Structure 1
Amino acid sequence: MKKLINAVDTLLEESLQGFAKAHADIVQLNTAPYFVRRKQPATPGKVAIISGGGSGHEPLHTGFVGLGMLDAACPGQVFTSPTPDQMLAAAEAVDAGGGVLFIVKNYAGDVMNFEIAAELLSIPSASVLVSDDVSLPKSHSTGRRGVAGTLFVEKIVGAAAEQGADLARCVALGEKANRVTASMGVALSSCTVPALGKPTFSLGDNEMEMGVGIHGERGHATLPLTDATSIVEHLASHIDQDLNPQPGQSVLLHVNGFGATPLMELYLVYELAAQFWGQRGIHIARSLVGNYTTSIDMAGCSITLSLLDDELLALWDAPVHTAALRWAC
């Protein structure tokens, strides 16, 4: 294993310290327990938006803390859920009097720990569960996983909260954003969790893993490696079948890298995905390409499509100032 680390046990701590220093104009780091919060206090009465999860997905979630998005993010160890005390401390620190909304990816550890935190919290709170991964059926025993579509949900809800939406309205918008979003990913290699020291699964030189999540787990099928056009058509077809967008529908097309795929390849994937939906009369109104929801050093990518109406488009375009996303401010 070759990684730029001093020790496995100090990796998260040192990384968070560097992140906070690099973006000291936007965020501040709390260390006991660990969470990242907005540096500038929110408007009194604003709903506080909090998310979190295991590290290794950067810039998700800490990179989305700031104006127009998250008020705080709780990072766990690599691929390990943060603890309820982190979530509780973060909620109490950023509460502005409007209640707290937790954005939770649908993974068992995250769901359980956020539920415990909500039960312990004396502040009014609610949760939105993100479940955009269409590689799993809706009837799956634990539901669909929350993956790259989490970014869209956090942006929509964060913008609404910034504009003064109350807790119930933020919940409704979060559920709406999740409902109109679908994602699917493919891996060309596994990732190496520092504490494990070796890839979480193996692939041959001529193999790819279809339908992967973001925690180094296998997908639903190991397939022969093929050309980019065929790969994109496979991913996009599953997404299209799930969302069933009609001709003329406006969408956000998000191509997300898993950490080790060059932007040159990600933009090629975007071009192919844009052709796929363009041929079906879909209007790509907004785009986002890059590494936003990663899986440490996995090679591969995911495609996310979000159906846009006037309300969601306006919230997507609303000002945001975070380490990873910034526009209109």
Structure 2
Amino acid sequence: MATTPSQPADVLDRRALNRAFLARQLLLNRRTMPADAALEHLVGLQAQAPFPPYYGLWTRLENFLPGELAGLLTGRQAVRVPLMRGTVHLVTSSDCRKLRPCVQPFLERSLITTFAKDLSGLDPAKVAAAGRELLEEAPHTVGDLTAALRTAWPDHPANALSNVVRCLLPVVQIPPRGVWGQGGQPTYALAEDWIGSPLDTEADLDDLVLRYLAAFGPATVKDIQAWSGLTRLRAVTERLRPRLVSLRDEEGRELLDLPDAPRPGADAPAPVRYLAPYDNAILSHADRTRIISDEHRKAIATKNAVIPGTILLDGFVAGAWRVDRTRTATAVDVQLFSPVSKRQRAELVEEGERLLLFASDGAAPRELRIADA
């Protein structure tokens, strides 16, 4: 790890922390690896919208094609399931079995805190049991499921009833939802029925923390909790301490890490990257300044919590992008947050043209539109 004479080897400045993190996120160099292996390394991809995971893998993997991920979904080797922070993630079926038990406490707590008023006078366990019975018969769209539940509980909002099922039962959203180029309403199936095997009976929080550090480290305990939605993880990290190394950031906060994880140093080159909408790279730490400034976090904030695609220049968020696709044409619109050099613009254009080709499935006409700050 590169250091300066004034910086102790166990202290990472913001750039060194950024480069270590980008290395874990497969964002310094595109990798040649199968999509399912990338999903497992990244501990899934955030997927409350259907198609961001495809862009998330495109920006990280060499020669990634949408059909590979779509095939994992239709082949039941990957699933869309509520996990970390209660958001839908696209994970392998193997990880669904492991991860859902880990985040169950958060989902239960979130249900009670978010829907306390709407659940007044209701026994959530009975709603969950009724939901299980319905889903054991066949998958249901969210609309059909809540309509059936409201015949028994007509005085309670549909959103509260559907979230009881979502939080208390291990449900997955099944295809065609999330399949590239297709549409479909969110349709629930029981995870064990869809993937053909039961979930783990116990939560392995040690493994969860170690995998987080491999994909998102170095990190504080607060970072791990912000990503997972879980609390009281310090006991887990203390138990794991003999297997970890202790570093510090510029503010003196302890950063935990795996001994052999990559920490390439502040001088490692970071190429232009177009991150997917909702990319976990900018959403998975209590302190996100390792990749996005507080000012730019405000620039991408929206009232409805939609997170746009973002652009990394020299490793840090410096703009946002979105796809504008019609029946006859595809455009990628880029909004920069600050001026860029000629070299950076050239990289932006080159990478943007690659993104445009991917987003359009190779169809013309295509247009890359870059708006300066």
Q: TM-score if structure 1 supplies the norm length?
A: 0.27
Structure number with greater Rg is 2
- Structure with more helix by fraction: 2
- Structure with more strand by fraction: 1
